[in-house]
A and B are shown apart, each in its own frame.
Chain A
């Protein structure tokens, strides 16, 4: 009977391809919206992921996200180094500063200051120069990815800032001595790295200027235990990378309304997808009611009919999902290559597959109710 069920499904090519197309469309909607939301979520944690050498971040408890500026006192570094289980602890400066490029183009930038001695917490991939070049006079590193977007000189030079260029940060001269590659970030300001001491020269004077203390836990020590000890010793918030990423994502997604907007978009994707896929499959079954009636008259049990309808639903769900996922991935690849937020981890694909399977299952169940209610005597009606 399985062969008959599949032949019924695929016999009418127009309806069959319509079904697959409907489910593929639904899959694409769900995958696209979910992947963009996940993409945005991941981008919010880009800076933290780029600074992954450390295990723990010490910060003021009022810090709400990775670019939030609530400095702590400089002595925290020494306090942290005194805690048992700490391998190393280094300061990190972070601040939003104003800059001016050689042709006069003004910009707002995020300046990161790394520990002068170790340069720990630096960008993950150096493209031009070496990390040690950051110790040169007035040295800064700029991002190598798509500089024309964030570091374009628009007032005459008409080119992006490049290696060897001199520009000013807060009216202090800086020289580009290296470039790096980092993750695409949710924040649009260019991130510029320099040493901690030089960052303090660039930044306006404040009583406290230490944004974070990065801590590496000694091998063999429990990160959670060291985290608790640091909290007790410093009285500050101490987060693992994952915790800090989650805190940042939660804050940004909730305060910007992205979560609500994209949550609604995902829900709409599921709803529209469900309606398209469900309605198409339901209509397909209704179109075949007469044949199901004939089969019932000939002695096919409701259990066998259920198997046939579920096989048809499962087949179109798998094929439709495959086509939709392929198209969705292709479109996502194009979108992502343009630097836009798009991330399709396995759990998004699983979520979409389960959604599509559920929708087809629901449509099959609704269809089966019609099939079960069907009087086989219908076949004697002309």
Chain B
């Protein structure tokens, strides 16, 4: 019997419909998913299956249509827009497929953004950002602009930005799809080594089979549903729950 572990993410019957009437598109059709603290969960599946919609809901940047979703016990549906914005600021780190680094800011300044949003003084934010860049192996590039960095380096800066404010949840959208195999592998190593701590949950959306080995568990999605939850290469035991 599976031991009761409090969920980092607990979704029950989550649906999402875009549009109305005849033009309505049901992107999620009753998702049940739990992700545990310290776990790296990959959401995999073909394009358009609802992966990005699901992490958008989990990260609190998209409203679900129905069901319930709690992240570390917080009910996102009960929050108003301002509370949810503040919750994202404090609790979520983002890694985007296109990196989304500010081209005019240096690597350190980009990493410092979540701290500046929280009101950390500029100097302190830059110091902490520099320390984070050291951890992702880019300490010597803190003054470089994104345009002066390779794709892999930019994604490592983005990982630093996602982690610098020590969020409890990190969501990554196709973090390696813009990178070659070797670079993508290295980026995932950095993500696993730096981000994966016991108190934090990582959700990685990908269809890049080359990085499946980094998953603790994988949830396969198709047509708005989770069809299968399996242990990944790092998974210790078969604890997948496909509801």
Contact = CB atoms under 8 A, between A and B. Distances in A.
A3 B89 CA distance: 19
Contacts of A1: 116-117
A192 to B, nearest CB: 66
A165 interface: no
Contacts of A8: 102, 104-105
A4 B55 contact: no
Interface in B49-76: 52, 55-56, 59, 61-62
A375 B56 CA distance: 11
Contacts of A297: 59, 61, 88, 94
A3 B121 CA distance: 11
A10 B102 CA distance: 12
Contacts of B103: 11-12
A295 B109 contact: no
A382 B97 contact: yes
Q: In terms of DSSP, what is the predominant structure of the interface of chain A? A: helix
Interface string B211-234: 000000000000000000000000
Kindly state the interface size class of chain B when it binds its partner. 20 to 34
Contacts of B62: 375, 377
A189 B52 CA distance: 80
A129 to B, nearest CB: 67
Contact of B104 (A7, A295, A375, A381): A7
B204 to A, nearest CB: 13
Contact of B117 (A3, A299, A382): A299
B113 A295 contact: yes
A375 B109 contact: no
B86 A291 contact: no
A304 interface: yes
Nearest to B88: A299
Given A298-B89, A299-B90, A377-B56, A4 B97 contact: no
Interface residues of A, number: 26
B165 to A, nearest CB: 9
A346 interface: no
B61 A7 contact: no
A341 B51 CA distance: 69
Nearest to A290: B100
Interface string A341-382: 000000000000000000000000000000000011101111
Contacts of B61: 296-297, 375-377, 379
Contacts of A295: 113, 117
A382 B98 contact: yes
Interface of A: 1, 3-4, 7-8, 10-12, 290-291, 294-301, 304, 375-377, 379-382
